[in-house]
Chains A and B, each alone.
Chain A
Amino acid sequence: MISRSVATLAAGLLLATASAAPALAQHRAPGLVPDPASVEGGLWGLMQRTEEDAKHSADLNTDPALNDYVRGVVCRIASEYCGEIRVYIMDRPLLNASMAPNGYIEVWSGLLLRAENEAQLAFVLGHELGHFLENHSLEQWNTQKTWATAALVITVGAGVAGAYYNVNLSGIGDIAYLAAISSVMSYSRGQESQADAIGFERMVAAGLEPTAAAGIWRQQQEETRASSFRSVRQSEAMGSIFRSHPLTAERVAALDALARGRPGGLEERERYRAAIRPHLAAWLADDLSRRDFNASLALTERLERDGMDLGVLEFHRGQIHRQRREDGDLELARDAYLTSTQYEDAPVGAWRELGDLQARLGDPGAARLAWRTYLDRATTADDRWIVEDSLTGLEAKP
């Protein structure tokens, strides 16, 4: 009898996981500081340490202009919280941003490189802000605590009942723990959807383009599909009750639904590109360290669509092909470097690489021309002697 009621309880737990979702409450008041004796105060204490680490991280990007710009976007969508939110930009080549419950936000360069315009950045920042405004870390903690306790109670109950009736009911304990984990993950997915909605509304209220929200996820899907790695290409296909985030396809559909019928807004493409331009070359080079060449190519093509920064982007395309080394990559790399040199913003290295490839592809005349141009332009480069030596070697040949 007892064992049956314990089993019913466990089954009820599993069913409850389907309906566990966070309730949208009123946003936290601006400037709120929790009592140090509260759970939230404890989380703040931990996060202050993490924030100290962020402040002294070697990855921290301290360019004042870029920091002012990103902080400006935060204030554009959340002016009432503008004073209490701290922004840290990290030079890390992955699409990521995160917000801590004590009000500091980390924005990774991989996100800044992938956002196409200010509206997209504002949406992602608004999403992170949503977690902060709705106290999601605290809710998540309390949910975990509740489910952990429930699972403990059921496990003990099953143990007692099992001992009494002399049967092994440890399976019920396992079910209770799995139910607890899946329900916490389901709760987390609910929070993500909620944060998406908050980010969307805040971005639109700031006069920005509603379709930008789904746009950044579509771009990410495109890049994922283009990846050189099968595991990355397949990563999106598997839904699971143990996932912390909803599938990108579901998020896109939800954000499309939100954007339907809304009047258009500003994208701020040029303003955005102008803000990240000084870092574009360095971030692209960082992106190559992932060695996901096909994804990098997809990203480069997308960034080229706006017709800006073509010298830098074509040089990067050359770098990708040169390092990928598949059939025909030498020629593709040469063509990309050659195209790059046609633009005002071509990095000086484009002529060095172009000379190298022309020499390897058997055109010494073109190689000589490119290297000479490099030496003319790169008057203070450390590697001049290498190029001079290559040039001498080329001229010594009959």
Chain B
Amino acid sequence: MKRLLIVVACLLAAACTTTSTKAALSVTPPSPGATIILIKPDIELSLLTAAGMSEPRADWTADAVANVQTSLERAVSSSSHTFRAVDPAGAMEGQSGQLLRLHEAVGNSILVFEYGLMPLPTHAGAFNWTLGEGAQSLAEQYDADYALFTFGRGNYASSARVATFVVLSALGVGIPLGGQQVFTSLVDLRTGQVIWFNVGVAGPQADMRNPEGAQSLVDSMMKGAPL
């Protein structure tokens, strides 16, 4: 009984989306009227099987990409900036394609070294990450000042996984029940600098496979955005 209570407490603790923001100190936020490109979210979702394998789900992935995209557009609609959606699938050629891939590498590095257990000695102080001045070519190609990237990976437990969880909890063994992590980053295309970065872990109410959940997730993610 005591163990079951602990389990319930754990579940309640994760009941809402938790985010953790980092921002570059010396950079001013976008001035009113700036043009910002919304890069189509890069999301992959899978099913967590009983034994803990992640089974890719193309339908969830497609739904989540569409839902998060719509929610992002809604979240920024009241701002004074101009937003334009860009689908990287049609933009992977040439230098802009290289930059989009570079952002994926930089974003994941931020995740590992700013949020992970091993900070880089060279990044110990202020938050200071950049794509380099080459990012200007994205600015020119899309006639934009900033780019907003969204990246999400995660899995959802199957019912068999939940049953395994319950059985093992009774034996005093804890196993993960799946989870989804998202990051968004705002890049100044004139300098290449990542000026704002936010990492979120989705709560049960923020299931991006449905439109309401995606909106809840995006609202939490964008709450402190300098937009």
Contact = CB atoms under 8 A, between A and B. Distances in A.
A and B bind: yes
A46 B167 CA distance: 32
B89 interface: yes
B56 A145 contact: no
A148 B168 contact: no
A156 B167 contact: yes
Contact of B50 (A37, A144, A149, A159): A149
Specify the main secondary structure of chain B where it touches its partner: mixed
B12 interface: no
A164 B44 CA distance: 42
Nearest to B56: A42
A378 interface: no
Interface string A29-64: 000000111010111111001001001100000000
Specify the main secondary structure of chain A where it touches its partner: helix
B55 to A, nearest CB: 6
A152 interface: yes
A148 B161 CA distance: 12
B92 A41 contact: no
A145 B62 contact: no
Interface residues of B, number: 25
A160 B172 CA distance: 11
A151 interface: yes
Contact of B53 (A35, A52, A55, A144): A144
A123 B41 CA distance: 41
A148 B56 CA distance: 17
Given A152-B50, A156-B171, A43 B92 contact: no
Given A56-B92, A149-B49, A159 B56 contact: no
Contacts of A35: 59
Nearest to B160: A149
A156 B166 CA distance: 12
B58 A45 contact: yes
A36 B173 CA distance: 34
Given A156-B167, A156-B168, A159-B171, A46 B49 contact: no
Interface of A: 35-37, 39, 41-46, 49, 52, 55-56, 141, 144-145, 148-149, 151-152, 156, 159-160, 163
